[in-house]
Amino acid sequence: MTMTDEDFATMHSLLAKYHRNLAREATLDVVQHYHADLAQRFADEAAQIPRRTTILERLHEREQQEKQKLALSANDVAGKTPDKSARKATPPLP
């Protein structure tokens, strides 16, 4: 089973919520800061997942377009025969 980007974003959001709760319940400052920091990182990551997905889709589309352009230009070059009028006449051998 593969996870979708929405699943990853949801998972990160749940982890952020979980660590926020742990931070509230912690009695030591260092533990509160640790869980609060971790919660913020998970929340930030959850927000970035859809953006990264969009960027990757655009990059993939551009890559496909470039491959098509290269294939077309290679076909154009391979399909052309040299122009006979551009050749220089060679003098007859003595």
Burial call 19-44: b when 16+ CB within 10 Å, e when fewer: bbebbeeeeeeeeeeebbebbeebbe
Query: Is residue 48 a contact partner of residue 32, using CB atoms and an 8 Å limit?
Result: no
Burial 70-90 (b: 16+ CB within 10 A, else e): eeeeeeeeeeeeeeeeeeeee
**Residue 64's pLDDT is what?**
94
DSSP state, residue 23: H
Q: What is the pLDDT along the chain (94 residues), one digit of tens a residue?
A: 788 888 989 999 999 999 999 999 999 999 999 999 999 999 999 999 999 999 999 999 999 999 998 888 887 776 665 555 555 556 666 6
Residue 37: per-residue pLDDT: 95
- Extended strands (E) in 10-80: none
pLDDT at 30: 94
Residue spans of the domains in the chain: they are 5-65
What is the C-alpha separation between 84 and 10, in angstroms, rounded? Answer: 66
> In this predicted structure, what is the pLDDT of residue 58?
95
What pLDDT, on the 0 to 100 scale, is given for residue 3? 83
Token pair for 45: 């990551």
Residue 5 pLDDT: 87
